[in-house]
Structure 1
């Protein structure tokens, strides 16, 4: 039987390869996103996600994340609810929520989401 070793990297310094957000999801600017997925943890997807400045829509999964760097506003579409987030914030999102993310400083987060 083989034993896996720990996986380690510097989350703030990790180089990520960005992809443009699909045009149909962009509301403003020219944002891109990047992701580094780690090995799953008991049915939970874990990784690093980043978005550059701009505004884009999304449909959320069950997720908890910690903001490592940057600033953004998350508007919950169809409601009057919004969150202004920055480094150190912890956020819980619910599956199916429609959101618009307005990133003003490149946002990097570590996330834990249901698979």
Structure 2
């Protein structure tokens, strides 16, 4: 990573979604790794409007932009908006309902 980046302007690389994981709409995902530090990957990720399911990594993220809800198999749900910080655990199954393009900065722990 350079010394700094503008997290809102960094261009991200397409991240294909599996068809069976798209539950509604035509969401598009993209991401970019900014760097690796010891056993931690730092990056940016975005998802456009729609509903997708995922299996999570061991991660902490901060929402930079967007409006969404992430739902867990346990029945828990979290409303995502700029400034919200979330902890995900490896193996958790989630459903992401994105109403306006979500952009987050994440740290995945190895």
> What residue is the counterpart of 2:71 in the other structure?
75
> What residue is the counterpart of 2:88 in the other structure?
93
**Which structure: greater strand fraction?**
2
- Does residue 104 of structure 1 match 2:102? no
Structure 2-normalised TM-score? 0.93
Residues 63, 94 of structure 1: 8 Å contact kept:
yes
Residues 68, 80 of structure 2: 8 Å contact kept:
yes
Structure 1 position 7, deviation (Å): 3.0
Structure 2 regions of 5+ residues with no counterpart?
none
> What residue is the counterpart of 1:14 in the other structure?
10
**How many positions carry a matched residue from both structures?**
110
SS of 1:24 mapped into structure 2 = helix
Structure 1 regions of 5+ residues with no counterpart?
none
Structure 1 counterpart of 2:28, from 32, 40, 43:
32
RMSD between superposed Cα atoms in Å: 1.4
Structure 1-normalised TM-score? 0.89
Structure 1 position 25, deviation (Å): 0.5
